[in-house]
Amino acid sequence: MPAHSFSTLLFLLTFLATQTSQLPIPYEGYFPRKNLLPPPLRDPLVALIDEKCYTSLIENFNLTDLGCIKYAISKALGFGIVLGGAIVKIPQILTIISSSSAEGLSLAAYYLESLSCVITLVYNYRQGNPFSTYGEVLFLSLQNIAITLLILAYARRQSALVASAVAILLVAKALLSPDIVGPGWMQTLYAATIPINLASKVPQIYTNWSNGSTGKLSAFAVLNYFLGSTARVFTTITELDDPLVLAGNVLASLFNGILAFQLIYYWRKNKGIPPQVIEEVKKAD
């Protein structure tokens, strides 16, 4: 029997078993019929959308409960973005390791990006925000720090490597201690990361515009960043009450939106000629 029909059968049997064993005793006023799930399915769902929304959406199947539907979508999107963020820079790291070189990567850019990620991470953590609303920055921080250290390692700058590793630990320790970096300062630092993140996109937008092409920019990365940052606007509105985080996400979505627009606009204008070819033709001219 193929695996999928076996699992369908198993599901039906489980479903029947849970339904029939929970049939209400047939007199009025007894508990209402509910869609009960077995614990291995129930527990993770409760952990995700909490008891109240689990009861409303799954047990009572109340599809008019818009608050809980929005919350459930937000949680699913949030963890999707966390998972995406966990792997987004792995290809880059593997490329550096397999070629034993980090040539062409800007050390300054990675210092700045690592710092901005760590500040965002600690700000959200100290605010007590749910992990699903910011978790990707944990993984982005680790990946950016790894790339920074790899750049130094392959450039054979051992003392700078050790100094950077120590500096990262000290910065993390300071940011995590409210006695050293008070709440006001933490907020200021986080606010400062917003224009820094946006500024890093401006040169790319300008280059695309002046070339009339998006060049070697990865369409996959641009569209993912746009979709991710836009979904973050939704999860922020749904789950947080923090105008600063909302402003940061709205602006990030806007700037990523400009890049995505350029990508599609120049793709159509250049009639589907792959951007790399245009780049090469330009170089040959």
Q: Which residues bind ligand NAG (CB under 6 A)?
A: 60, 62, 64-65
Which one, 62 or 204, has the nearer CB to ligand NAG? Answer: 62
Which one, 24 or 182, has the nearer CB to ligand NAG? Answer: 24
Within 8 A by CB and 6+ apart from 148, the residues are 107, 110, 111, 114, 164
Which one, 54 or 255, has the nearer CB to ligand NAG? Answer: 54
DSSP per position, 165-196: HHHHHHHHHHHH-TTTS-HHHHHHHHHHHHHH
Instruction: Provide, rounded to whole angstroms, the least separation between the CB of residue 67 and ligand NAG.
Output: 6
Within 8 A by CB and 6+ apart from 142, the residues are none
**How crowded is residue 249: how many other Cβ atoms within 10 Å of its Cβ?**
25
As a dihedral over the C-alpha atoms of residue 24, residue 25, residue 31, residue 33, rounded to 10 degrees, the angle is 20
Instruction: Provide, rounded to whole angstroms, the least separation between the CB of residue 281 and ligand NAG.
Output: 59
Instruction: Provide, rounded to whole angstroms, the least separation between the CB of residue 103 and ligand NAG.
Output: 57
Instruction: Provide, rounded to whole angstroms, the least separation between the CB of residue 23 and ligand NAG.
Output: 20
Instruction: Provide, rounded to whole angstroms, the least separation between the CB of residue 33 and ligand NAG.
Output: 12
Which one, 71 or 225, has the nearer CB to ligand NAG? Answer: 71
236 within 8 A of 133, measured Cβ to Cβ: yes
Instruction: Provide, rounded to whole angstroms, the least separation between the CB of residue 15 and ligand NAG.
Output: 22
* Of 125, 38, 134, the residue nearest 82 (C-alpha): 134
SS3 at position 273: coil
Which one, 57 or 88, has the nearer CB to ligand NAG? Answer: 57
SS3 at position 177: coil
As a dihedral over the C-alpha atoms of residue 102, residue 104, residue 109, residue 110, rounded to 10 degrees, the angle is -10
Which one, 53 or 147, has the nearer CB to ligand NAG? Answer: 53
What is each CA distance from 177 to 51, 125, 126, 134, 135, in whole angstroms?
33, 12, 10, 20, 20
